Amino acid sequence: MDYFDIAETWSRDQIAEEQVKRLRENIKHACKAPFYAKRFADAGISPESIHAPEDIQKLPFMCKDDLRACYPYALSCVDKSEFVRMHCSSGTTGSPVAICYTKRDLEKWADLMARSMYTAGLRKTDIFQNMSGYGLFTGGLGIHYGSERLGMMTIPAGAGNTRRQIKLINDFGVTAVHILPSYAMHVAEQVRVMGADPRKLPIKRALVGAEPYTEETRKRIEEMLDIKVFNNFGMSEMNGPGVGIECEAQGGMHVWEDAYILEIIDPETGRLVPDGEIGELTLTTLTREGMPVLRYRTHDLTRIIPGECPCGRKHRRIDRILGRSDDMFILKGVNIYPMQIEQVLMSYPEVGQNYLIQLESDGQRDTMRVKVEIREENFVEDMRVLRALQERIARRLFDEILVTPIVDLVQANSLPQSDGKAKRVIDLRVKQ
Ligand code: ADP
Ligand code: ZN
């Protein structure tokens, strides 16, 4: 196996052995924060409680509200003067949580990120453009330092200003990028609008993540730009990107189990679900000294992909994130995830890059309106063709979610395009 870090080659036994050692040290270290000292004392947990990685299940869960309650410094396990940086979550689902990093934390994070990039086939010889927002969002500096650690020439383009992004890609011969899925499709479309062929850009590979997207969307981005797309996962609470990445096989994301303990739990019972079954991703930092986070319920829904990866890495793989449990909305008693809708929409070649789900109500009846951008060449078709397409999409959506939506076909580039994470659902229902 071609690897960046020796830990990628570890056997399951080696991973388990290190996890036990690191988890013990971590529990001891975490108790420097009164928050953990009290929790672990209440639960009767000490480093000696851990004999196998599975003993993590003895620890109490943490959730976002714990992190909010500990804002800004209550999770610190080092003297404040040891901190050299902080990041915040993007606040997609409420008030932000903040993580402070020591110098060593940043080193380890950059190592994990560089390892992730290498696993996705990026090399020192690549020219890399980071097309996600910088600032408090971890996808900026987190990716940036990883890319420099790998030794790639790195262009900190940030998000937005699409024409300049495209110019930089062409001028500097950019071969690899980090980009959000919604923005990747937008960029490809803009190249076309400018009269060029997006497949002729020099880009070969992209790390795509930070928000959920479907396999259909991956194929689309790959096709539109003639590149390979590697799913890339992370969250501020776990440093940021660099938690999991797809390898050359593109069959799910290896979670770096020397740095994180991975569990998939049943959100109702809190018990582990069998491999292959969908549940809530729960993660524990193993190497972070500034603010360790143990047994954190991420709200992200995914499953462990059973079996071994052809690449030879034994770090287990998770499937693409279906969404957060709080992305789910209920319409007429049915639980629906935006990704179920995206999956249907993106399977139609006539459908363009963007869509928006609007939940409406007249006080008595709830309805779902799906606004879908249609490709320019299809939008000029005659009314009957468009009407038929509209009906086909509505029927397929009904098959998937068992609710009949109103489907509005709208012009390409007419829906709001975000520089950061896309907002897929707007709830306009009257609250009772
Ligand atoms: P926020 O929770 O405010 O969005 P972050 O910027 O830390 O803050 O984002 C982390 C979240 O982004 C994850 O919990 C997950 O929901 C989502 N995410 C990150 N990477 C991916 C990915 N590859 N696929 C799907 N969702 C992702
Ligand atoms: Zn692999």
Instruction: Tell how far the Cα of 168 is from the centroid of ligand 2, in angstroms.
Output: 32
CB 44 within 8 A of CB 31: no
Predicted confidence at residue 191, as pLDDT, reads: 97
Which residues on neighbouring strands pair with residue 390, listed in sequence order? none
- Give just the sign of the alpha carbon dihedral 94, 100, 105, 110: positive
Record the tokens describing residue 339, joined without a space: 């990704």
Record the tokens describing residue 181, joined without a space: 């899925």
Q: Tokens 């383009």, residue?
A: 157
Which residues on neighbouring strands pair with residue 283, listed in sequence order? 262, 296
Predicted confidence at residue 363, as pLDDT, reads: 80
To test ligand 1's pocket by mutation, which of 116, 141, 238, 321 has the most ligand atoms within 8 angstroms of CB?
A: 321
- For 259, the 3-state DSSP assignment is coil
Residue 235's Cα: distance from chain center in Å?
7
What does the alpha-carbon distance between residue 332 and residue 312 come to, in Å, rounded to a whole number?
46
What does the alpha-carbon distance between residue 183 and residue 165 come to, in Å, rounded to a whole number?
11
Sequence-ordered list of residues with C-beta below 8 angstroms from that of 42, at least 6 positions apart, any chain: 60
Instruction: Tell how far the Cα of 163 is from the centroid of ligand 1, in angstroms.
Output: 26
Ligand 1 contact, 253 CB (< 6 A): no
Please indicate, yes or no, whether the overall pTM of this predicted structure exceeds 0.85.
yes
Which ligand is closest in space to the CA of residue 254?
Answer: 2
Quote the strand ranges of 194-249, DSSP E.
Answer: 205-209, 228-235, 240-246
Helix (H) or strand (E) holding 95, with range, is: none
CB 92 within 8 A of CB 236: no
To test ligand 1's pocket by mutation, which of 90, 132, 235, 326 has the most ligand atoms within 8 angstroms of CB?
A: 235
Ligand 1 contact, 94 CB (< 6 A): no
CB 206 within 8 A of CB 228: yes
Predicted confidence at residue 91, as pLDDT, reads: 67
CA distances from 127 to 116, 171, 219, 326 (A): 16, 11, 23, 37
Predicted confidence at residue 399, as pLDDT, reads: 96
- For 167, the 3-state DSSP assignment is helix
What does the alpha-carbon distance between residue 197 and residue 138 come to, in Å, rounded to a whole number?
31
Predicted confidence at residue 430, as pLDDT, reads: 73
Ligand 1 contact, 90 CB (< 6 A): yes
What does the alpha-carbon distance between residue 191 and residue 166 come to, in Å, rounded to a whole number?
7
Ranges of the chain with pLDDT below 50? none
Predicted confidence at residue 39, as pLDDT, reads: 97
CB 28 within 8 A of CB 279: no
Nearest CA to ligand 1 atom 10: 235
Which ligand is closest in space to the CA of residue 236?
Answer: 1
